[in-house]
């Protein structure tokens, strides 16, 4: 993930999937008992499709980033500048992305279908055109103000973002409230589920950028474990805080560009600095910059304290 090489990531996960697919299918059979409908995103599509076929259940596709081929813009895994090549290449990039994901899972899918579900193997090119996938509407959980629905998307609904609200009895820690009230409006910095082999090095980079800009920050530890002993008093470390509560209280959001965090930043009405690691994150970074609500994205492997400091100065000056 740190290298951001999607081909390498797919190759690695394909090997893991061959071992895991059998367990996923068995668990899925149990979970589906008594159910009326399957709702599936990109990650579980092939397993859900096999379960729907086995149990004759309706299946609704529900995505948080564009996955249906279109001429309007390139796939989220492709550089967005290829849109200059025209609609044919935009649409082709989506088909290539689908094949990249399917071919990486094809062997695991065959094992799961044959050993657990007693189904014949899927075609070599996958089941993207099967009737079951197109029988019901496709849902997209992002705003049409961010990604307008393409004209060539049929039986498809762009519904607006899907937000998970905090528990009604949630209250912020008193120490966090004291930090918010004790000085200038801080930044939010967090990379969510993205891993870091050297989290202290990442924290040092962040601290250097904050020192250069003389800013305070609330830093989310995240899955990468962003931690460091003896943090300065200008930085407050948290393990978990609802985005819907915190982000409206900060000056800007520095994050990895995941669909959920991007949505939360837009909803809060504060500028974003997106540091994409891989996948659809660069796509959201480009769109945030294009909409004029954030800085140009800085890929994680190109991130330096100076570049982050420049982006912080930019969003605090312009937005």
Backbone angles phi, psi at 219, to 5 degrees: -110, 130
Q: Are residues 178 and 294 in the same domain?
A: yes
List the structure tokens of 117.
């579900």
Single pTM value for the model? 0.89
Backbone angles phi, psi at 63, to 5 degrees: -115, 155
Backbone angles phi, psi at 59, to 5 degrees: -130, 130
Q: Are residues 151 and 45 in the same domain?
A: yes
Q: Are residues 136 and 54 in the same domain?
A: yes
Among 158, 183, 209, residue at a domain's last position: 158
CATH number at residue 153: 3.40.50.2000
CA–CA dist 196, 201 (Å, integer): 9
What 3-state class would DSSP assign to 107? helix
pLDDT of res. 240: 87
Residue 165 domain flag: no
Q: Are residues 145 and 279 in the same domain?
A: no
Residue 167 domain flag: no
CA–CA dist 92, 166 (Å, integer): 40
Tell me the pLDDT tens digit for each residue of 168-192.
888 999 999 999 999 999 999 998 7
Tell me the pLDDT tens digit for each residue of 66-83.
999 999 999 999 988 899
Q: Are residues 242 and 281 in the same domain?
A: yes
Q: Are residues 10 and 141 in the same domain?
A: yes
Residue 292 domain flag: yes
CA–CA dist 60, 40 (Å, integer): 6
Among 158, 184, 216, residue at a domain's last position: 158
Residue 247 domain flag: yes
Q: Are residues 147 and 228 in the same domain?
A: no
Q: Are residues 106 and 130 in the same domain?
A: yes
Four-point Cα dihedral 291, 159, 74, 76, nearest 10:
90
Residue 43 domain flag: yes
What secondary structure, in 3-state letters, does 21-84 show? HHHHHHHHHHHCCCCCCEEECCCCHHHHHHHHHHHCCCEEEEECCCCCCCCCCCCCCCCHHHHH
Residue 1 domain flag: no
Number of domains the chain contains:
2
List the structure tokens of 197.
């082999």
Among 132, 158, 184, residue at a domain's last position: 158
Question: Which range marks the domain in which residue 86 is found?
Answer: 6-158
Q: What is the pLDDT along the chain (319 residues), one digit of tens a residue?
A: 555 566 677 667 777 777 788 898 999 999 999 999 999 999 889 999 999 999 999 999 999 999 999 999 999 999 888 999 999 999 999 999 999 889 888 999 999 999 999 999 999 999 999 999 999 999 999 999 999 999 999 999 999 999 988 888 889 999 999 999 999 999 999 987 666 666 788 889 999 999 999 999 999 987 556 666 778 999 999 988 999 999 999 999 999 999 999 999 999 999 999 999 888 999 999 999 999 999 999 999 899 999 999 999 999 998 7
**CA 6, chain centre distance (Å):** 14
Q: Could you give the residue ranges of the DSSP H alpha helices within the chain? A: 6-31, 45-55, 87-112, 131-134, 174-181, 199-213, 243-246, 259-268, 281-291, 305-318
Q: Are residues 131 and 256 in the same domain?
A: no
């Amino acid at each position: 993930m740190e290298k951001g090489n999607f081909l390498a990531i797919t190759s690695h996960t394909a090997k893991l999937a061959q071992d895991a697919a059998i367990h996923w299918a068995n668990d899925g059979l149990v979970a589906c008992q008594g159910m009326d409908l399957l709702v599936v995103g990109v990650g579980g599509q092939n397993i859900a499709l096999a379960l729907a076929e086995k149990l004759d259940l309706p299946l609704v596709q529900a995505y948080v980033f564009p996955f249906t081929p279109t001429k309007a813009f390139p796939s989220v895994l492709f550089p967005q500048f290829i849109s200059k090549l025209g609609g044919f290449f935009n649409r082709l990039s989506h088909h290539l992305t689908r094949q990249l994901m399917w071919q990486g899972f094809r062997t695991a899918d065959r094992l799961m279908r044959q050993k657990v579900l007693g189904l014949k193997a899927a075609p070599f090119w996958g089941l993207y055109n099967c009737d079951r996938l197109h029988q019901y509407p496709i849902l997209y959980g992002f705003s049409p103000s961010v990604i307008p629905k393409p004209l060539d998307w049929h039986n498809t609904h762009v519904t607006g973002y899907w937000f998970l609200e905090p528990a009604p009895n949630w209250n912020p820690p008193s120490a966090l409230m004291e930090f918010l009230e004790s000085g200038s409006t801080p930044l939010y910095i967090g990379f969510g589920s993205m891993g870091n082999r050297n989290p202290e090095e990442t924290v040092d980079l962040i601290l250097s950028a904050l020192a250069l800009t003389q800013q305070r920050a609330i830093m989310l530890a995240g899955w990468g474990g962003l931690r460091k002993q003896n943090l300065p008093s200008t930085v407050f470390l948290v393990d978990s805080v609802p985005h819907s509560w915190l982000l409206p209280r900060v000056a800007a959001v520095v994050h990895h560009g995941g669909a959920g965090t991007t949505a939360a930043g837009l909803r809060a009405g504060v500028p974003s600095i997106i540091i994409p690691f891989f996948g659809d994150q660069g796509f959201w970074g480009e769109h945030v910059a294009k909409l004029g609500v954030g800085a140009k994205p800085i890929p994680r492997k190109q991130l330096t304290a100076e570049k982050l400091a420049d982006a912080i100065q930019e969003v605090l000056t312009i937005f």
